[in-house]
Amino acid sequence: MAITLNNGFTMPIIGLGVWRMEKKAIKDLILDSIKIGFRHFDCASDYKNEAEVGEALSEAIESGLVKREDLFITTKASFKKTILTFSCSFYLWNTDHGHVLEACKHSLKKLRLDYLDLYLVHFPVSIRHTGIGATGSPLDEDGVLDIETNISLETTWHAMEDLVSRGLVRSIGISNYDIFLTRDCLAYSKIKPAVNQIETHPYFQRESLVKFCQKHGICVTAHTPLGGAEANAKRFGTVSCLDDPILKGIAEKYKKTVAQIVLRWGIQRNSVVIPKTSKLERLQENFKVLEFELSKEDMDLIKTVDKNYRTNIQPAKFWGIDLYA
């Protein structure tokens, strides 16, 4: 099951995110996920496990387990100049906004790939460059994120477009952009963003942003489709939607886990979901969300649990500044 992007390429509607995955476990995790049926992998330079992901993908391709053209790899470039993409998706890190080409090539080398399926701008902010492949978040003397003011998002985007022209990347997109920044990107872009990857889940539905993106041909990907669950509860002290009594009731009705209900809800919103797990049984459960469908009545019921509640990526905790203010 896949979504056709605005440039004609298709993107599997469910993928596996590798954020916070232990390096030693990634190889088996990716090989197991491919055997289950996953073809979409979401990576980022900032995750600091590109080399391990690349090793696993290389083995899968060389052994004949899967063909490269059947994979979708995404990576992100942080405005620190970092980029990765598979289905594989990849991201440009925040320190590399002024070094987009070099960051992309660096990621491709680590991933052992000739091209990325999707490359995303990780955050709409450029910070002090600390070297290609270095994905830290340098702070200034006041302990606040050291933001650069001489590189615009428009400049970064045009550098992203150049990657497409060079054949290094098939699709480019944005991540953590609100409606206003997305609108601006549409206005100055020659190549429209194919994807906006955002936090969205039943407790943070962001209906206005989702509808705006879809209206303008931008695919929405949910990078925290389960609300972060235990991991974010420990990291940020947040509450998980997986404990919600209404969602639990729906899960009982369908004889599914709450996580499966939440992922299926995301898919039926016509968004891509990239849940993270390191457990084989959860991988299998997650992929089985393609085997059932929620009724309109239950989709409408899930709308009622929205709390406008962000559980992930709370910059003020680490960067001394609230980028969402």
Record the tokens describing residue 7, joined without a space: 């440039």
Q: Catalytic: 47?
A: yes
As a whole number of angstroms, the distance between CA 223 and CA 132 comes to 24
Q: Are 230 and 286 in contact (CB under 8 A)?
A: no
How far is it, in rounded angstroms, from Cα 286 to Cα 80? 32
Name 248's Cβ contacts closer than 8 Å, sequence gap at least 6. Answer: 258
pLDDT for res 51: 72
- Catalytic pick from 47, 115, 119, 203? 47
Q: Find the helix or strand (DSSP H, E) in which 251 lies.
A: helix 245-254
Which tokens belong to 220?
A: 């929405």
Q: For the chain, what is the total number of helices (H) and then of strands (E)?
A: 12, 11
Nearest to 207 by CA among 136, 269, 278, 145: 269
Give residue 112's pLDDT: 82
**pTM to 2 decimal places:** 0.86
CB 45 within 8 A of CB 86: no
Strand (E) or helix (H) holding 153: helix 153-165
pLDDT by 10s per residue, the chain, length 325: 889 999 999 998 998 876 666 666 778 888 888 898 888 887 655 556 667 877 788 888 888 887 877 777 766 554 333 333 335 566 687 888 889 999 899 888 887 888 888 999 988 989 898 888 777 788 889 989 999 999 999 999 999 999 999 999 999 999 999 999 999 999 999 999 999 999 999 999 999 999 999 999 999 999 889 987 666 666 667 788 999 999 999 999 999 999 999 999 999 999 999 888 878 898 899 999 999 999 999 999 999 999 999 887 666 677 888 877 7
